[in-house]
Each structure stands twice: as C-alpha cells, then as structure tokens.
Amino acid sequence: MLYDVLPDVETPTAAELESAYASELAAVVREHGRETVAADSGVAPETLAAFTDGEVGDATLSDAAAVFGVDDTDPDAVTAEVRDGLMMGLSTAILDVDTVALEIETELDARELRQALEGEIRLRLDELAAVQSLIRSRS
C-alpha cells in the first residue's frame, strides 16, 4: 500500500512518494465517498480533500492506515508493513537514525525519528516519504 508504491521507480524523490501515497489514499476516498471515509476512519474531511488534491498535507501514517481500514484493510497491518519495511530498508542500506535525521529535511531529530519509526510518536506521511526516498536511494 504505502511502502511498496512506485515499484518501477528505482530512486523516487520524497515528492514523488508523497504524490503516490496521496493517489492510493484518494482512490479509497473516491470509492467510498469523503463523508463515509471521514465518519468511518475519524480522519478530518480536510485531510481527505488533500488526498484527492494529490497532497498528503499533515496526514500521519495512522491517518493513512485508518483510511485504508475503510477499504477492509487492517490498519494495524498497514502500519506494521510500513514500519517493518523501513527497518529492513535501514538495515539493507546500512543507515542508522542519526544519519537519516541529518540527511532528510524534516523537523525530527534522531531521537524523534527513532520514536516515529518505532510507533512511539506520530510519523507524518511527508516524513515517511523522506525516509523511504533516502533508503531507496542507498539500496
């Protein structure tokens, strides 16, 4: 869903990944309707509108998982898949959170990045895209 977007692009940029995330999420919103998705997922209608506009805004991994949950996908499975993929990617690319935090443009320091990757604090989709882009560029 999120971790495996753009499989044919070897080194996608963070912006390309964000757009792909938004596209995947917008498909669920279009299929079920914004009102239904908002009610069933608890995600703000403005966030859902951003997805249909091709943007992720301030949406989090939890928001995305909740939207996919409306489409009969287990939200916990979505977050687990993303987190597992990121951890495996970091290992494969031989990257640690200190290096990632220095190389991506987010407000997260290394400690916060580790916490976000482990699910202790929120991980915004733009942060996910930045991390995933770096991993794929190094793998």
- Distance of alpha carbon 131 from alpha carbon 84, whole angstroms: 13
- Are residue 24 and residue 44 in the same domain, yes or no? yes
In a domain, 93, yes or no: yes
- Are residue 114 and residue 126 in the same domain, yes or no? yes
In a domain, 83, yes or no: yes
In a domain, 128, yes or no: yes
Which of the residues in the chain have pLDDT under 50? none
- Are residue 94 and residue 134 in the same domain, yes or no? yes
pLDDT of residue 7: 87
Read off the pLDDT of residues 119-134 as tens digits, 9 standing for 90 and up.
Answer: 999 999 999 999 999 9
- Are residue 126 and residue 113 in the same domain, yes or no? yes
From the list 133, 78, 86, 92, the residue with the least C-alpha distance to 113 is 86
pLDDT of residue 113: 96
Domain count, the chain: 2
pLDDT of residue 104: 95
pLDDT of residue 1: 76
